[in-house]
């Protein structure tokens, strides 16, 4: 499956610092409330429009699980930023 179309977060995530922050092996760091650091100085806020709509969709696709939804959303945003 093409990684840009992935709807589940998949492997490569580990807890970082506490129970609410996770880091992917690609370098993305997320907070389960909807923040994603995709590059050194780029922070995406999933609570602001239009990102909030996309984040809510990923949470629904992942069965209402916020953590998995934020992880999948952050990976999708990384893929769209890289081209």
Task: For 14-64, write each residue's pLDDT tens digit.
Answer: 887 778 899 998 888 999 898 998 777 788 899 999 899 999 999 999 999
Domain that holds residue 49: 13-82
Does residue 20 sit within a domain?
yes
Q: How confident is the model at residue 78 (pLDDT cuts 50, 70, 90)?
A: confident
Q: Is pLDDT larger for residue 77 or for residue 55?
A: 55
* Tens digit of each residue's pLDDT (9 = 90 or more) over 44-58: 899 999 899 999 999
Burial of 32-48, coded b for 16+ CB within 10 Å and e otherwise, reads bebbbbbeeeeebebee
Within a domain: 5? no
Identify whether 6 is part of a domain.
Answer: no
How many independent structural domains does the chain possess? 1
């Amino acid at each position: 499956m093409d990684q840009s179309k992935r709807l589940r977060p998949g492997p490569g995530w580990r807890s970082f610092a506490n129970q609410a922050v996770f880091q992917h092996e690609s370098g993305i760091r997320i907070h389960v409330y909807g923040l994603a650091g995709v590059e050194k100085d780029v922070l995406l806020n999933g609570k602001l429009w239009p990102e909030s709509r996309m984040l809510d969709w990923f949470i629904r696709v992942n069965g209402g699980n916020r953590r998995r939804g934020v992880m999948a959303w952050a990976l999708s945003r990384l893929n769209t930023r890289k081209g």
